[in-house]
A and B are shown apart, each in its own frame.
Chain A
């Protein structure tokens, strides 16, 4: 709580120590102090509320709430109590109670500007737009200040935006908002820029573009001064919507003369030009083409315009702008699209790109620029283009190794750009294995040579040479995916580790390493890499999704839960945070931002479902390759796959939860009717969930049949395919299905249920077979040396995790079975005693269960042996015995980095196995309690 300004009121003085305790986090003392004060001053309501805050913060929510309500029902009107209650309700996540509070206060003190305004904000926090509209108006009537009036207008706009029925928005809310503003305009009461912005927003949403244009161009528009080019931008928007191409063209032209580098206006200039040509538009009046000035309607004029802009740049002494040269390529592209022969007047694209390279080849962005227009070159020109570019790169004398090196960073950047272009053109990809290895040698030489230019670089700066290293890594990945040779992968890891040692801040290195370690199933180094990226807040969503995909599936449960927590904390805080700033936007009149904030909140709230699509294409951006781009199709498929996987998981979770509830429910056989109803209601939930799971698994099977392969740098594929192919999903489903049959037995009893009992026993046996199969799929070496090569099989680890998960589900069902069978057994024994009959054999289901728990015990023991065996052979692996670098000319140093990467993978595998073993042992203990 903020420090309080005035201390004249004796109550303020009395309350101050409590505020101080709360501020310092000393909640216990705050409560004590409040109690002391309340003994003397029973009616000091605020003290009660402050005590409630203390209680709330020490976890005593119920007590806090009832104390707060004692005060709230008195409908307090003192500032202290109101503010304290507001804080308390906010901490309780009950913002709707604040509205009640101020509704009462406003009724008692109808002339208070402060309370009215608090009431408006309280409504804003919960999004009660209609009430906001009224509260805003009531406020304006109490104190006729413009902002209050426009708060009310904005609330109408929000009603329009949130209306389910677009018609209602267009015929009621927006017209009403418009009339309200018009009234102020007529009375000449418009004061602030925000009010004009809001007027524009309303007209725009109503589709009244002509009116909006008139307004922006007229005297009201003169108020639009905060944002640069605000009037021009708004006019442009309206011209485009109204398809007023002459105005659009003339304005773009004017703005480009002012700033020949503003790309958006080249696009609108060309768009409008071609629209005008298609319509054979001619000016109605030679003198004045349109309000915005001269209009250009021919290709010749456009060509001249662009050529003139380039000449201007050529003449300049200072740094030339890239815009005009790029515009020239864009114009060629558009003319070609239209089949217009005039493109030749601008020149040959190859020559133009060479010129561009001549001017900007020493800038790191040259590749990003040219990449967009490479399609203007026919494939047969690609090699020629690359060679001609090479001629423009000044390299030194060719040395012993056959390479010439750049003499400074500008030459280095040019050389790099040529390498990047040949990669984008696919010239690297077509090389055979030998060719690629030669390329790697060359790139490595350049990488090492270039490091000298960055000797004085700070730790926080990137090395000029870094992109070479990244490219080497990508060529290694090409080789690995083409040949399956894991040595390529190890060397790739080595070169990236080396890169990181010289350039510890390079996020691209870290992300690629992170991805590779993930694919290798080695999660421990991933955790370190992620933490060194220092991802925060929104980045837990946009980068963190990589971690959350792999952590759990690789048996690193502690790390997994930590990374889930990061993400969850971020998502949870979002709801509260955004509401606060929606209110601020009202206060500062940033009306345009209000719908934007609300859309943003919605987007974050839906994030878990849409994680893949929405996520930053960070990894894609790592290195863009023409032939490896992620298609829209991949994006859609990945989203579909992730959504189905999410559904499978959440259904499993809900099934387990309802099973847990059933297990704790009192046995239904001897209970009264309501209880039976309760149980049958629950069993129907179980039934519904099971059939949903069944349907989802069918859909899932269809998806995995497609066997979609995402590009290496694309989204990680979900766990769905492995979950299905390992048999884990079906085993879990049949275990859960068994619980339903057991329920039936619970109602039928042991007599007259021999068929049901046989069915249950068959399920017991079948589950054992399924678990056995699943376990057998885990057999093999996750890491081994063969012919002095190190080979990995990370999929074994992922399958083992599925096995452990499935064992957990089955054991859960087993303990539920025990809870059903135990009472059946004891009632049977009672009967036996009565009849003094000891000859009856034990019912099938009971002996079957005994046998089943025995077999389960056996399987868990086998699994533990398997894990132990894996751990032993991993520990026994002597990586130092590997002879690295044979045939690939790796230096001693490079081998060191590769070895370090190998060690990380080995250690991480061991860690995963240990965690899995621990979990299995814990679950095995629970088996013992199942015997009867």
Chain B
């Protein structure tokens, strides 16, 4: 049980317990402000009864409608260690999908590290499939090699024939994705 509400600037002072996870990126302030200014409805945080932040999702809507590429995108999704295994990530994803449905998106997509098996499996359970592999999408900092990403997608009701999720067999480079 949780209180779901809009993420606000002040939450940036309180999200350490979520963001100290090594796979969760802490971005510069401008990045968060950009999302808050442009897609505030897509930035949702969940709060425990004791006031602790449990997790959040940050996303956006983008792409051309004419080319049937208008879609919802998951930029960040993270849940604090003690609030995992509760289905919270699934709930937040459901909300993002609902918002994207309302905006008339064709699909929802996200990028995930190929090595992050826990996340990949969770997304699969939520109905996402690998659309393509993006080579060296994640640049590593401490001398380790760059890592590939899966671009995963789930069709929304507007894409009745589910064309948007037909996998592309060959991997692509980051500069080739839009």
Contact = CB atoms under 8 A, between A and B. Distances in A.
Contact of A225 (B28, B30, B102): B102
B100 to A, nearest CB: 11
B82 A264 contact: no
Contact of A226 (B27, B49, B102): B102
B8 interface: yes
A363 B1 contact: no
B37 A588 contact: yes
A240 interface: no
Given A590-B36, A593-B36, A614-B13, A365 B115 contact: no
A3 to B, nearest CB: 15
Given A261-B2, A539-B26, A596 B9 contact: yes
Contact of B84 (A319, A330, A364, A577): A364
Contacts of B48: 263, 365, 368-369
B98 to A, nearest CB: 6
A538 B36 contact: no
Contacts of A578: 29, 33
B117 to A, nearest CB: 8
Interface in A524-544: 533-539, 541-543
B102 to A, nearest CB: 6
A442 interface: no
A372 interface: yes
Interface stretch (B17-25, B126-134, B163-171): B17-25
A228 B95 contact: yes
A417 B10 CA distance: 31
A599 B22 contact: no
Given A364-B83, A507-B20, A542-B13, A577 B1 contact: no
B82 A368 contact: yes
Contacts of A308: none
A462 B115 CA distance: 16
A369 B82 CA distance: 11
Interface in A509-565: 533-539, 541-543
Interface string A348-370: 00000000000000011101110
Interface stretch (A579-587, A869-877, A890-898): A579-587
A592 B98 CA distance: 22
Interface in A173-228: 225-228
A603 B2 CA distance: 27
B37 A590 contact: yes
Contact of A543 (B16, B37, B98, B118): B16
Given A363-B86, A596-B8, A600-B9, A621 B26 contact: no
Given A263-B1, A264-B3, A596-B9, A460 B52 contact: no
B3 A262 contact: yes
A536 B26 contact: yes
A363 B99 CA distance: 29
Given A364-B83, A364-B84, A538 B12 contact: yes
A537 B32 CA distance: 11
B2 A599 contact: no
Contacts of B85: 363-364
Interface stretch (A245-253, A320-328, A633-641): A320-328
Interface string A592-606: 110011011001000
Contacts of A581: 30, 33-34, 36-37
Contacts of B99: 226-228
A458 interface: yes
Contacts, number: 149
Given A363-B86, A581-B36, A588-B38, A261 B1 contact: yes
Contacts of A573: 28-29
A372 B30 contact: no
A326 B49 CA distance: 9
A368 B54 CA distance: 11
A596 B19 CA distance: 22
Nearest to B118: A461
Contacts of B21: 460, 505, 507
B33 A577 contact: yes
B87 interface: yes
B10 A584 contact: no
B49 A597 contact: no
A227 B41 contact: yes
Contact of A321 (B1, B41, B83): B1
Interface string A265-291: 000000000000000000000000000
Nearest to B2: A263
Nearest to B27: A537
A600 B86 contact: no
Contacts of B20: 507, 533
B30 A580 contact: yes
B30 A577 contact: yes
B30 A590 contact: no
Nearest to B26: A536
A538 B29 contact: yes
A537 B19 CA distance: 12
B16 A584 contact: no
Nearest to B30: A577
A483 B82 CA distance: 32
Contact of B115 (A226, A458, A585, A621): A458
Interface in B97-126: 98-99, 102-103, 115-118
Contacts of A588: 37-38
B172 interface: no
A603 B11 CA distance: 12
Contacts of A323: 1
B14 interface: yes
Contacts of A577: 28-30, 33
Contacts of B13: 538, 541-542, 614-616
A536 B19 CA distance: 10
A321 B1 CA distance: 7
A228 B28 contact: no
A364 B81 contact: yes
Interface string B76-91: 0000011111110000
A596 B9 CA distance: 7
B109 to A, nearest CB: 19
A574 interface: yes
- Looking at B10, B33, B34, B48, the one whose CB has the most chain A CB atoms below 10 A away is B33
A263 B82 contact: no
A923 interface: no
Interface string A453-497: 000001111100000000000000000000000000000000000
B17 to A, nearest CB: 6
A371 interface: yes
Nearest to A615: B13
Contacts of A227: 6, 40-41, 99
A551 to B, nearest CB: 20
A163 interface: no
Contacts of B30: 577, 580-581
A321 B49 CA distance: 14
A377 interface: no
B19 to A, nearest CB: 7
Contacts of B37: 581-582, 584-585, 587-588, 590, 593, 597
10 closest Cβ contacts across the A-B interface? Answer: A323-B1, A581-B33, A507-B20, A600-B9, A584-B37, A585-B37, A226-B41, A227-B41, A264-B3, A364-B82
Given A536-B26, A616-B13, A616-B14, 20 more contacts: A225-B102, A226-B99, A228-B95, A261-B1, A262-B1, A263-B48, A322-B1, A327-B1, A364-B82, A460-B116, A462-B81, A534-B22, A538-B13, A539-B26, A543-B16, A577-B29, A590-B36, A593-B40, A600-B9, A615-B13
14 contacts: A261-B1, A261-B2, A319-B87, A322-B1, A326-B1, A364-B82, A368-B82, A458-B115, A462-B81, A534-B26, A543-B16, A584-B33, A584-B34, A597-B36
Interface of A: 225-228, 261-264, 319, 321-323, 326-327, 330, 363-365, 367-369, 371-372, 458-462, 505, 507, 533-539, 541-543, 573-574, 577-578, 580-582, 584-585, 587-588, 590, 592-593, 596-597, 599-600, 603, 614-616, 618, 621
